[in-house]
Amino acid sequence: MQTKETPRAEQDTAGSQAEQQGAEQQTAQRLRTIITRANRLLGTTETGRAADLPPARLSVLLAVEHRGPLRLSQVVAHERLNPTMLSRVIGHLVQDGLIVRSNDPDDRRSAWLAVTDRGRDLARQIRAERTTAVQGALDRLNDSERASLAAALPALEAFNEVLCEETR
């Protein structure tokens, strides 16, 4: 029985490809861990805790404040919450005076969500606290690390766009 030996160059190429795939997998895992941890650490702010805003409510409030007024269907698509869960979240936000819900005069099946002044103030305070936390962490890095992060921002923004497209 004859065995065909793989030429050394083919073995090197296959090994190199496997190493590359392993490195890419490790990058994906590290990036996921960093994003998850940063999200958890930045997700809870003093103002958010004081307002008793769980993550889903906070996310909806921030989306409506940033992009609003929005149709209910747009919030469903953006937040990827099932309609029943979103209905509960919106009910709490309306009850707390953070958003208002109104019917669309042209389509009675559709509803609009808009942030109230109180909701806008709360959202801005939470964003300010998050920015302060990020700035505090940046201040603790050296110049080279800060420059590396700044240089990586365009790639991270592109990554975020691709991730948003893939999870739709």
In a domain, 14, yes or no: no
> What pTM did the predictor assign?
0.75
* Domain that includes residue 153, residue range: 24-168
In a domain, 18, yes or no: no
CA distances from 13 to 6, 19, 125 (A): 11, 10, 54
Round the average pLDDT of the chain to a whole number and report it: 86
In a domain, 135, yes or no: yes
113-152 pLDDT tens trace: 999 999 999 999 999 999 999 999 999 999 999 999 999 9
In a domain, 19, yes or no: no
In a domain, 10, yes or no: no
**How many structural domains are present in the chain?**
1
Per-residue pLDDT for 13 more than 70? no
Please check whether residue 36 is in contact with residue 46, taking contact to mean a CB–CB distance below 8 angstroms: no
In a domain, 38, yes or no: yes
In a domain, 74, yes or no: yes
* Higher local confidence (pLDDT), 142 or 104: 142
In a domain, 102, yes or no: yes
pLDDT of the residue at 167:
66
Per-residue pLDDT for 39 more than 80? yes
C-alpha closest to that of 92 among 48, 118, 57, 121: 57
For residue 73, the domain's CATH number is: 1.10.10.10
Per-residue pLDDT for 73 more than 80? yes
